[in-house]
Amino acid sequence: MQSLVAGIHEFLERANQLALSSCGSCYGPGRDRQPLDSVLVSLFDVSPLGDADPEAIRGTQRGARFLHEGRIEEAIREFHSVCNRVPRNAVARTNLGSAYFERGDEDAALHWFRDAYRLDNRSCRILRGVAVLEQRCGNYTEALWLLRNYLQEVDEFNMQVLHQLAMLYRDRQQWTQAGTCFRRLLKADPTNREIAKELQVCLDRSAASGGDVIEYRSHGYNDERSAEIIFGGQSHTLCDERLPPSRRRGDGEEVRPWEMRRGTSADRRSGSVDRRLPSAERLAPSHC
């Protein structure tokens, strides 16, 4: 009898895996996943909660073990439970997002990393994770805004964020901006051959497209001019005229790029716990 039950369970599990592989929209957009750069893999590792509820800490440890064993659905359930226990913990949300990322549902992963960013917008790791997911989901404007805003408002000397911004500019073939970022990185680490190689590529591509490369070659490097190139001379604060009056910010308050849009199917699929937050902090309901 036990062997029969085990056989049925195995059959159902294989059928479920086959359904997921043939229907990409079940747990996310039906698109091929691009490989993740090796320097970004650690952004989606499970992290300890630190000084938190003991049961939440144990739940995080169980979730990490499930992920390591490939039991992704069990890990997701465990991390959801942890988020319920510590609704104001940003790391708990990145762990849940990382589990969804491991499953291949990058939209749901983005939802939870955004949630973590709302709770802790000064964390370099969370910021970089959100930017990676925004880029992978095709939201390049949001990814650029996040990285540039961090450098402008939090830590202008953060080389990890600057390198990620440089790579994003490079992938978008914005050679002038990418070259300026790589020039800053090379100035901080003159012996880094990989950065020098990336800078030379940008110089060549910018020259081929008629871009301004004189500044890169000059020894009299102008930091003020480089900031103008990187940040485009625009304010990091987005206009929120399209938001309902109840959700508009006061003068000087910043608006997250994704708050300009209505709710997405990813927000609905991800099992959001926004309903447990105070009403003033919840996202407006979706009208899509």
CA distance 119 to 213: 40
Range with top average pLDDT, 4-18, 162-176, 231-245, 254-268: 162-176
Contact 155, 161 (CB under 8 A): yes
CA distance 49 to 86: 10
Give me the pLDDT at residue 35, please: 84
In percent, how much of the chain has pLDDT > 90? 56
The sign of the torsion formed by the CA atoms of 230, 235, 237, 239 equals negative
Tell which wins on pLDDT, 63 or 16.
63
Of 100, 79, 52, nearest to 273 by C-alpha is 79
Give me the pLDDT at residue 37, please: 83
Contact 203, 217 (CB under 8 A): yes
CA distance 42 to 253: 31
pLDDT in tens, 230-240: 666 443 333 33
**Range name among 32-36, 124-128, 215-219 with the lowest pLDDT average:** 215-219
Calculate the average pLDDT of the chain: 76
Give me the pLDDT at residue 143, please: 96
pLDDT in tens, 9-20: 454 444 444 333
CA distance 219 to 228: 18
Question: Is residue 128 predicted with pLDDT exceeding 70?
Answer: yes
Give me the pLDDT at residue 280, please: 41
CA distance 124 to 136: 18
| pTM score | 0.68
Name the token pair of 217.
């070659």
Contact 113, 130 (CB under 8 A): yes
